[in-house]
Amino acid sequence: MSAKRRHDDNDADGAASSDMKQKKRQVAASSNKNQKRHVAALILARGGSKGIPLKNIKPLAGVPLMGWVLRAAVDSEVFDSVWVSTDHAEIKKVAEAWGAQVHQRSPEVSRDSTSSLETIQEFLKYHNEVDIVCNIQATSPCLHPFDVKEALKKITEDGYDSVFSVVRRHQFRWKEVDELSDEKTEAINLDPANRPRRQDWPGELCENGSFYFTTKDLIKTGQLQGGKSIYYEMLPEFSVDIDGDIDWPVAEQRVLRYGYPGKVVRLLFCNVSACLAEGINALSSNTRNTSAIHMLQEKQVEVILLTSSDDAVAQSLAAKLQKRTGCQVMEVGKKPLNDLQEVMKNKSLDWKHVAFMGFDQADEKLLKLAGLSAVPGDAPELASKAAKYICPLSRGSGAVWDFAELILLQKPMAKPQ
């Protein structure tokens, strides 16, 4: 047999082998599509942060830091379960308030030297039903549901084993040198003699740390990125990573503009008796308070004012209040949730589309249940921990106005899901 004939035969065998591998991958991907796999979101939130104490639950624009990504994970509706792995009781409370289940991590994976891989492996040891893990970083508060939805498809529909988020950066990099030496620096990713314009250079893809999807089988091999791996590119405005106190004020501005606000608010329940220091009188006479309500109404947000059955002046002022604000005024008992469930049923609304402003212990369940909830800055600790937003202003000082502004600020940001 001639060398040419052997060469041709080898090429044919190689092509056949390549085709066979491709077909196997397609079969595997098709099998994965048809087989329902349990997909879990997992946020790692250790209590012993060395930089910022309890950084994961520090308020960012009034919302606990990890509350931003938990809201996006829950509202994406692609996860069979949403978890927070923690060793701290306060983080546990916040996680549950935002709709997550809690995995109590062991001391062995709560050390400073513990890797994310080790923590995730422990989680899977106790939750064998999980097939795909999405490790979401609490320090990436501008994550939106549409990003995790699209990234997950690369595993469930395209057959990848791992998918991680990246962002495109246009930064020229240079070799680091010892300043005390005579060594000269060199360009790493450009030719200085032919320096391109920014618009002519596609830039580079860099991990932004927002999320990492990985199959359980790959994690068992000791990898979070590997196998058949691919990236998911996020827009720069959504790639915010908080790694120090100096970033906090800047991050608050970014998250208010680009963070995921939750489902569009269609209805606000406001506990007037509790949220105003002067009681119901304040809303009936204060122009700023009534203006806040009118702003919401102009944007098609219905407002229902709640008065307590214990408020002695509520009945005498309810009619005047309704006329002045144009709102329904509703009296609720000591368990307001029971009274409001019927309203929700009649309006065919989901709690994700409802905002609630409360103040005291009786409001705790509603503060947790509503898609967006708030308390004045002087609210008791129990209510503050249940709320998703803590107003910087106190009762009688504009807390209702502040919350109304937040609703209106976030309303235009919400994207179709």
The catalytic residue positions are 195
DSSP 288-328: HHHHHHHHHHHTT-EEEEEEETT-TTHHHHHHHHHHHH--E
Alpha carbon of residue 84 to chain centroid: 12
Structure tokens, 152? 């997950």
Among 82, 134, 126, 90, which Cα is nearest to 108's? 126
The answer for residues whose C-beta is within 8 angstroms of residue 183's C-beta and 6 or more apart is: 177
What is the number of helices (H) and of strands (E) in the chain? 15, 15
CA distances from 298 to 184, 327, 368, 369 (A): 63, 12, 27, 25
Using CB atoms within 10 Å of the CB of residue 388, give its burial: 0 to 12 exposed, 13 to 18 middle, 19+ buried: buried
Token reading at 101: 């289940």
Q: Rounded to an integer, what distance in angstroms lies between the CA atom of residue 118 and that of residue 132?
A: 16
Of the candidates 116, 117, 36, the one whose C-alpha atom is nearest the C-alpha of residue 78 is 36
Nearest to 66 by CA among 130, 135, 119: 135
Q: Spell out a b/e string for 36-50, using b for 16 or more CB atoms within 10 Å of the CB, else e.
A: eeebbbbbbbbbeee
- Between CA 25 and CA 17 the distance in angstroms is 12
Half-sphere exposure of 66 (CA within 13 A, CB side): 31
Structural contact between residues 380 and 397, judged by C-beta atoms closer than 8 angstroms: no
Torsion of CA 21, 26, 30, 36, to 10 degrees: 60
